[in-house]
Structure formats: C-alpha cells, structure tokens
Amino acid sequence: MSADALTPILLTIITAATPLVFAALGELVVEKAGVLNLGIEGLMLIGAIAGFATTSATGSLLLGFIAAVFAGMLLSMLFGVIVLQLRANQVATGLALTLFGTGVAALVGQGFVGFPIDALAPFAIPVLSKLPLVGAILFNHDPVVYLSIVMTFAVWWFLYKTRAGLVVRAIGESHDSAHALGYNVIAIRYAAIAFGGGMGGLAGAYLSLAYSPMWAENMTAGRGWIALALVVFATWKPQRVLAGAYLFGGVTILQLWAQAQAVNVASQLLSMLPYLATIAVLVVISRDKTAMLMHTPAALGKTFQPAR
Amino acid sequence: MGPRLERRTTPSKRMSWGSPLLAVGLTLASCIVLFLLLGLNPVTALYVFFVQPISNVYGATELLVKATPLVLCALGLAIGFRANVWNIGAEGQLLFGAIFGGGAALAFYEQDFVGLLPLVALAGALGGALWAAIPAWLKTHFGANEILVSLMLTYVAGLALSYLVHGPWKDPEGFNFPESRLFHDAALLPILIEDTRLHAGAAVALVAVVACWLLLARFMVGFQIKVIGLAPGAARYAGYSESGVIWFCLLLSGGLAGLAGAFEAVGPVGQLVPNISPGYGFTAIIVAFLGRLHPAGILLAGCLMALTYLGAETAQIELNMPSAVTGVFQGMLLFYLLAADVLISYRIVWRTATGETS
C-alpha cells in the first residue's frame, strides 16, 4: 500500500481515538484522587446530546462543546454528592450514573434523531501541514484533536510537576494521611470528579459533533467502558493513555476498513474486535499482580470517613 | 450550622427496609415534576403509568412475565454483590442463554420428546454460565477486573446474537428479516393461565427465589459468601477460598441469567431476534439493590421494576410519552436508593451555631 492510501487510514485512527483520550484522561485524574467513577458511559452520552442539541439550536460548534463540558460536570456532581457526602458505594453509584445518563440522553435526544448538522472541519496548521508524509497525518486535524494532545501533556504536568497535583495523588494513595496533614479531601475530590465529568462530556460531544455528526441513542457503544479499561492499561500514566487510545483507535479503524474491503467475515464478528482487544489488554496488564498493586492508587474506591 | 452525619453504633435494620420505600417515594415525586416538564397532567400520567397497566388480569400476568427475567438475573447478581463479585454483564449472559436455549430449540426443530424443554432450559443455563466463566477465569488467573470483562462480553454477546440471526440461523422463509424461524410448539414453554403469556418460567423463578434464600441462610457456601463480603480478612483467616467463591458466584449468576434468556426465547418471544431483551440484565442490577440483595426483597423489587416497563408501554400508547422515560425512572430510583442508604449507617444531626447538637 502506498503512503497516499495509508494517510486517510491514519487520520481516521486519530479521530477515532480522540474521544477515548478525553474520557480516559478525565477518569485518570478522578482515580488518581482515589475515586472510581464507573459512570463515564453516561457522562459521554449526556455530553453527546448536550453538545448536539446546543449546536443544532445555535449553529455554533464552540457553544456545543462548552455546553457538553458543563453538562458532564453537572451530572458528575450528582455522583459526587452521593459518594462523597452520602458515602455510598462507588461501584453502585457509578452504575447508577451510567443508567441515568443513558436514560436522560435518550429522552432529551428524541427530537434530534436524524437532525443534520455541519461537522467540525479540519484545521491545517500552516507550514507544518505541508511537510511531506507526516504533515498530512499529524497537522491536518480539527482543533479538538490538537486539544486532546495538549490536555494529555497538561494532565501529566499537573499531576507530576505541580504541588496541587502532588496533593491529588496523595489523597488517592491515603486519604487519611492527607486529611491529617490538613488537606480538604472532600473538596479536592469534588474538583477531580468535576474535571472527569467535563472531560467525559467533551468526549461525548466529539462523537456527536465531529466523529459522526449526528445523534443516535447509545451512540457511545461502550466507549466509556473502554476508556475505563484504558486507564488500567495505561497503569494510571497520562502519556500511556494517549498511546493506548491510538492503539484502540487502530483496532476500531482496522475492523471498519476490513468491512469496507468486503473481507469474507461477517461484519458483526469484525465489530467484536475492539471489545475483545480491551479484554486481551486488561488480561495482559493485570497479569503482573505486584506491578498492578504498585500502580493502583491505594485508596481507589474506598469511602473516606473523616475521623474526629 | 446545618445537618451533619453521625455514625450509628449499629446499622439500623429499620432503615435498611425504610430506605427503598423512601427512594420509591422520592422517585414518584420526581416523576410528577418530570411529567409537568413534559406538559402532562401528573395525576393522569401517574395513573396511566402505574395503575392502568395492572388493572386487569392480563396486565397483572404481563407484570409477572416481565418480572421473571428480572428476578432470575437479580438473584444471581445479588449473591455475587454480597461477596464483592461485581458481575455487571448479566445482559450478555442472558443473551448467551437465549442463543444456547434457542439453538437447542432450533436443533430439535419439529421434534417432540419429553426432555425437550428441560434440555432447552439446561442449554440456556449452560450458555449463560459459560459466558460468565470467562470473567471468572480471567479474574482468578490473571486478576483482570470482572466489571470491565463482563461488560465488554455483553457487547460481544449482542453482536454474536445479531450475527446468528442475520446469517446462519436466519429464517429461510422470513422475507430476509433478521429473525430465526418461530420455534415449534413442542419447544415453547407451557402457559400457566389461558389467554395470557404467563409461562412456566415464572414458576421456575419462584423456585429459584426459595433456593437462593436457602443457599444464603442454610448452606456453608452462602455463609462464606457473606463473610467474604463483610469481613475479607476474617474469611482469609478462616481459610475460605476466595477464587472458589468468585467461580461460584459468577457461574451461578451466569446460569440464572442464561436461564432467563432461554425462557425469554422460548416463552414470550417465541423465536430469536436481535433485541430479545430490553436491557433486563442491566435493570436487574437495580432490582438487586432495591431488594436489599435479599431473595424475598428481589421478588418485590422485580415486580416494581417490571411495572416501569409496562407503564412506559401504556404511557407511550395513551399519552405519547417517550419510552426513554423508563431509563430515567430506573436510574433515578437507584440514585435515590443509594443516597437514602446513608441513613442505615448514619443518623442526621442538626448542629446549632454554638456547636451543640440539638
């Protein structure tokens, strides 16, 4: 295959990976703060419909993305109140968030099925996009793709190079110690959950405004859960989230490409690939139990009860 | 200065049953708000949603038809949740049960022998258990998270069913619709009350409720499940096999979900179709929590959640209410329930500005 034929494939891999990057980065920060939010699928769906509805009403893609971020944050606060203030089980509350988000998105989205909008257009970076080979692949995307890469570095920088990031990580390792040192565990966890919610909303909006510009019920098709697996796969490291997301984007596009080439395998069987790849990757990464124990935030999923 | 939570010395028994009632009450109150937002008269809407569907015999039996898969799935899930085994892929196990059970019915098409229905049921349970064995094996051997694995497998199971009814199992005389042929009469579950769809699977679900209650209350493995969930340290000290309990919980919940799937296929549906379940496996998670992870509670909760499906159908016909309302209700109910559960372990204390409790 020539480089010219490969370029569109590589381009679509990056677009397919972008929602996963946002969702997984958001969840990574939440988990680094010691909270397990299983509701990303619901957050993404809410973001997808909020973005789509806003854009079709106003005609502005920017407003759509902003609305999606706010909708995700708002919904994640519901999760925050229940797990932080009312100390409910995080696994069950996360599931409730997914069920509720899916339901609300479907209800709001009823009037928007089959509604046309203009998708986010690519923005060629001057000069760089004219580079041979890499130019077309790396520097000819929509602005949100660039944002996903900027966010990856921003999250890495925040977690590992700033004092605030250190506090977040400390809370995720031992909320009791952090509390004893005088940090407000609950407030910081609220902030982390809100960030995760906003990123989940953004991820959903990218699906409905750029990747496949339309609204369909359950259009995330499990991407929120794949993002959760990505965080484990990345051993809670932002830079690896990016690599993992591109790997999954690759699998997704590979199976779509194979379907388009009329490979003699039923399309349903090819569509299983991303889910099976997720399981395979989870198994490979979880096999080393000592390493997993080292990487997993020690307070992940545990309820914080301040001692008096 | 506002409310503050104070830990109770012992969890409140009264609140553990009061909290589901509180959650249902709050959900109904929120429903009224939602109906007003949708521009409906809340009294009519509540009546159409919750009373009208079960105001005649047929409706009441339909409630049991819908409650059957919910109860079967939730029983297994609840036993797992008690041991901190988070199988959330009951939907996939149900679909695989439908594939295996339906497959058995198709394999013996137009044959009539005494063991056919037991064979179909057994195949369904086996299919569900096999599908649940994958997360069990990956969890016990590689430490892979069972939540994510069982959920990913739900998507795979849905695609597998879709593949079968679009391809090898498609009805040759079905005008190219993605459906299997209609099962032969001998492979259909007997109807309990004439002119309704209430099938023998409902009776099996009742037996399963009793069996699960016995398992938890009277058997060693039930005791081990409870200890592992409540005090993992004590369970390790006592030498209980953690991987043994993981296997047991997943195989049991997978088997029950598979049974539910097979019953759906050879019961109310009568053939294999791509969307054989309206998300029973996911709703069963709510049923399990709402029923306090207790078999008797699950029976009641299963009927209540079945009513939300029926109510949505009636409301769609009568009031043109979007069917997505069901999902909103169900999610809302679980949220309220988890929030209200705080009152089991804590009491609310109002503190005055001086710091004294009143």
Q: Under DSSP, is residue A61 helix (H, G, I), strand (E, B) or coil?
A: helix
The DSSP call for residue B169 is T
**pLDDT value at position B162?**
94
Name the interface residues of B facing A (CB cutoff 8 Å).
5, 7, 86, 88, 138, 142-145, 147-149, 151-153, 155-156, 159-160, 162-163, 166-167, 282, 285-286, 289, 322, 324-332, 334-335, 338-339, 341-342, 345-346
Report the pLDDT value the prediction gives residue B114, as an integer from 0 to 100: 83
* Cross-chain Cβ contact B167/A102 below 8 Å: no
- Position B246 scores a pLDDT of 95
The per-residue pLDDT for B304 is 92
Q: Which candidate from B86, B162, B327 shows the least CB-CB separation from A102?
A: B327
pLDDT (0 to 100) of residue A135: 66
Average pLDDT taken over every residue of chain B: 90
Best probe of the B interface among A77, A286, A289, A295, by most B CBs < 10 A, is: A286
Q: Report the residue of chain A nearest B331, measured CA to CA.
A: A100
CB A222 to CB B155 under 8 A? Answer: yes
Best mean pLDDT range from A116-130, A143-157, B337-351: A143-157
Has residue B249 got a pLDDT over 90?
Answer: yes
Taking only Cα atoms into account, the Rg of chain A, rounded to an integer number of angstroms, comes to 20
The beta-carbon neighbor of B335 closest among A82, A268, A305 is: A82
Percent of chain B whose predicted confidence (pLDDT) is above 90: 56
User: Which residues in chain A are closer than 8 Å to B348, comparing Cβ atoms?
Assistant: none
Domains of chain A by residue range: 3-295
Q: Which residues of chain B lie closer than 8 angstroms to A92, CB-CB?
A: 285, 289, 334, 338
Measured CA distances, A92 to A21, A89, B210, B250 (Å): 25, 6, 26, 18
What percentage of chain B reaches a pLDDT higher than 70? Answer: 97
Structural domain spans, chain B: 62-302
Q: Residue A289: pLDDT above 90? A: no
Neighbour-count burial for B188-203, b at 16+ CB within 10 Å, e otherwise:
bbeeeeeebbbbbbbe
Report yes or no: B157 and A296 within 8 Å, Cβ to Cβ: no
CB within 8 Å: B155 and A86: no
The closest CB to that of A287, out of B86, B142, B346, belongs to B142
User: A80 pLDDT band (50/70/90 cuts)?
Assistant: very high
Give the mean pLDDT of A159-176. 94
- Nearest-angstrom CA–CA distance, B358 and B326: 41
> How far apart are the CA of B119 and the nearest CA of chain A, in angstroms?
28
**pLDDT tens sequence across B218-245:** 998 899 999 988 888 888 888 888 899 9
Whole-angstrom Cα Rg for chain B: 22
Residue that is written with structure tokens 């939010």 in the block = A37
pLDDT of residue B358 exceeding 50? no
Contacts of B143 in chain A (CB under 8 A): 286-287, 289, 292
The alpha carbon of residue B321 is apart from the nearest alpha carbon of chain A, in Å, by 10
Cβ separation of A107 and B327 shorter than 8 Å?
yes
- Is-contact A85 A105, C-beta < 8 A? no
Between strands A123-124 and A140-141, the pairing is antiparallel
Q: Count of CB atoms within 10 A of residue A220's CB?
A: 29
Q: What is the pLDDT of residues A24-66, one digit of tens each?
A: 999 999 999 999 999 999 999 999 999 999 999 898 899 999 9
For testing contact with chain A, the best of B70, B86, B146, B159 (most A CBs within 10 A): B159
Q: Which stretch of DSSP H or E encloses residue B345?
A: helix B342-345
Q: The domain at B62-302 falls in which architecture?
A: Orthogonal Bundle (1.10)
CA separation for the pair B44, B24 (Å, rounded): 19
Nearest chain A Cα distance for residue B326, angstroms: 7
Task: Tell whether the model's pLDDT for residue A241 goes beyond 90.
Answer: yes
A271 to chain B: nearest residue by CA? Answer: B159
Q: How confident is the model at residue A133 (pLDDT cuts 50, 70, 90)?
A: low
Across the interface, of A96, A225, A283, the residue whose CB is closest to B138 is A283
End-to-end CA distance of chain B: 11
Query: How many Å lie between the alpha carbon of B108 and the closest alpha carbon of chain A?
Result: 26
Has residue A207 got a pLDDT over 60?
Answer: yes
* pLDDT over 60 at B356, yes or no: no
> What gap in Å lies between CA A11 and CA A13, rounded to an integer?
5
Residue A176: alpha-carbon gap to chain centroid: 29
Q: Are the Cβ atoms of A103 and B286 closer than 8 angstroms? A: no
For residues B127-149, give the mean pLDDT. Answer: 95
Contacts of A289 in chain B (CB under 8 A): 143
Each residue of B288-306: pLDDT tens digit? 999 999 999 999 999 999 9
CA distance B111 to chain A (A): 31
* Complex confidence, ipTM: 0.89
Class of domain A3-295: mainly alpha
What is the predicted pLDDT for the residue at B343?
Answer: 87
Report which listed range, B9-18, B46-55, B135-144, is most confident.
B135-144
